[in-house]
Amino acid sequence: MGGEEGNGGGMTKRMWWGSGAARVAPVVVLLMGAGAVRAAEQTCVFCEIAAGKGAAEASVVYRDERVVAFMDRAPRNPGHVLVVPREHADDALTVPPATLGHLVQVAQRIARAIGRTDLKAEGFNLISNNGKAAGQTVFHLHLHVVPRFAGESATAAAGEPRPVRPAEELAAIAAKIRAALAP
């Protein structure tokens, strides 16, 4: 059938590209050298925040030896937190499974803490976009904890461009969440 022929052709093309990329990748890594790889890691915005660099430090709500959580600078709603591994991983496929588990546990604690603040969230999204096709724009794994309110559009919390909020506003909300997390 015509359809099967079409699929077969597509598969051959994908396999050809796949094997080509596999041959080229080690050469690219060799050409980049260790220094260039380190430089590439240093330009990751979430690695910088995890390392305590930059203005986002004021909006950190939680930190331990494996993860850090901080305010999304362009929140979907007030209280929108990102939880990230401190060690760089592009996405949920490449992060060590134990770290992914810890990330989810910390996200749960943060969602509970947000519920104890005066933000008055009535629900929350716990989501992670993996890959460009899924809406990932920062290629350092992160879980979004997004407070939600009755009457809002029920669509997913990512996607549409949102304004970056003033640092003082983010820091003030972070302080509330930090206080609610305290034992």
Chain residues binding ligand 5GP by CB under 6 A are 45, 56, 70-74, 82, 129, 135-138, 158
CB 115, min distance to ligand 5GP, A: 21
Question: What is the Cα–Cα distance from 85 to 136, expressed in whole angstroms?
Answer: 16
Closer residue to ligand 5GP in complex, CB, 23/132: 132
Among positions 82-141, residues that touch Zn ion (CB under 5 A) are: 88, 140
Question: What is the Cα–Cα distance from 60 to 63, expressed in whole angstroms?
Answer: 7
Closer residue to Zn ion in complex, CB, 50/106: 50
The answer to whether residue 47 forms part of the interface with Zn ion (CB under 5 A) is: yes
CB 10, min distance to ligand 5GP, A: 29
Give every CB contact of residue 58 below 8 A, 6+ residues apart in sequence. 167, 170, 171, 174
CB 163, min distance to ligand 5GP, A: 10
Closer residue to Zn ion in complex, CB, 86/178: 86
The Cβ of residue 171 has, within 10 Å, a number of other Cβ atoms equal to 16
Q: Are strands 143-148 and 123-127 parallel, antiparallel or unpaired?
A: antiparallel
Coil, strand, or helix at residue 132?
A: helix
Closer residue to Zn ion in complex, CB, 87/175: 87
Would you call 142 a catalytic residue per the annotation?
Answer: yes
Q: Which has the closest alpha carbon to 170: 61, 84, 45, 68? A: 61
74 binds, among Zn ion, ligand 5GP, none (CB under 5 to 8 A by kind): ligand 5GP
140 binds, among Zn ion, ligand 5GP, none (CB under 5 to 8 A by kind): Zn ion
CB 117, min distance to ligand 5GP, A: 18
Considering 80, 140, 142, 144, which one is annotated as catalytic?
Answer: 142
* C-alpha 65: how far from chain center: 18
Contact 162, 147 (CB under 8 A): no
Contact 80, 146 (CB under 8 A): yes
Catalytic residues: 142
